[in-house]
Structure 1
Amino acid sequence: MNAKQMENESRLTALNYGYRDPVLFYKTSPFLLGAIFKVPPQTNIFMSRKLQRLRDHDINPCLVEADASSKCMDKNNYNRDACTLYFLRYKSCKKFWNGIVMQRRKDGIKPDMPTAEEREKILASIGRIPY
């Protein structure tokens, strides 16, 4: 296989696996030209794994509060004083769910963090959002 065939094959592979820009594929891996990367289509290659985990509803119970505080910062030209209530709500959300995680660890319940469905049931049993 010559270099041109390898380039065409890798471009097709990049497009088949959901890469938006095949040029990015070449720039990020010039030594693996022609290699086949098995990346699921739903995976966003532009976000780090840590950021993907933080954006997952099953892992981060305070995603809504985090997004609200970010939007507030954007809207108020990054004036922290204007978004204090959003920050306090996020902080109390993290504190509440951290307490749930600690209690579940004590009780030996796995996984430590309740799934999104379990969290909805917990909040429904309380009757309101406690934070």
Structure 2
Amino acid sequence: MMSRNRRMRDLDSNPCLEETDASTKCMDDNRYEKDLCTPYFVKYKNCRKFWNGIMVTRRREGTVPYMPTAEERKHILESMKSLPY
């Protein structure tokens, strides 16, 4: 079983890895002044909300795995033409 830290760095487990990294970088660059990073936090929150909705739908439909793989997520986003978050 993967450790939590390793799992959160895995693209198949964390659909919002890019947003996570951007938020962390913003905090580092701005000496942890949260107000300066609000747009990054909002984007991360919207990303999590979007993929959680996908996960809930897949669970309800009996689709396994509940979280689409990184490759599946790429196709989902490409089919949408623009980022939903």
CA–CA distance in 1 between the matches of 2:82 and 2:10? Answer: 23
Identical positions, percent:
57
Q: CA deviation at 1:111?
A: 0.2
TM-score by length of structure 1 reads: 0.63
Flag the structure with more relative contact order, 1 or 2, with Cα contacts below 8 A and sequence separation at least 6: 2
TM-score by length of structure 2 reads: 0.97
| Structure 1: stretches of 5+ with no match in the other structure | 1-47
CA–CA distance in 2 between the matches of 1:108 and 1:128? Answer: 27
Higher-Rg member (1/2): 1
1:129 counterpart residue number: 83
1:72 maps to a residue whose letter is C
CA–CA distance in 1 between the matches of 2:3 and 2:65? Answer: 20
User: How many residue pairs were aligned?
Assistant: 84
1:67 maps to a residue whose letter is D
**Correspondences of 1:1-131 after superposition (within 5 Å):** 49-131=3-85
Structure 1 residue runs of 4 or more that deviate by more than 3 Å after TM superposition:
none
1:111 maps to a residue whose letter is P
Q: CA deviation at 1:123?
A: 0.3
CA RMSD of aligned residues (A): 0.9
Q: CA deviation at 1:75?
A: 0.3
| Structure 2: stretches of 5+ with no match in the other structure | none
1:43 counterpart residue number: none
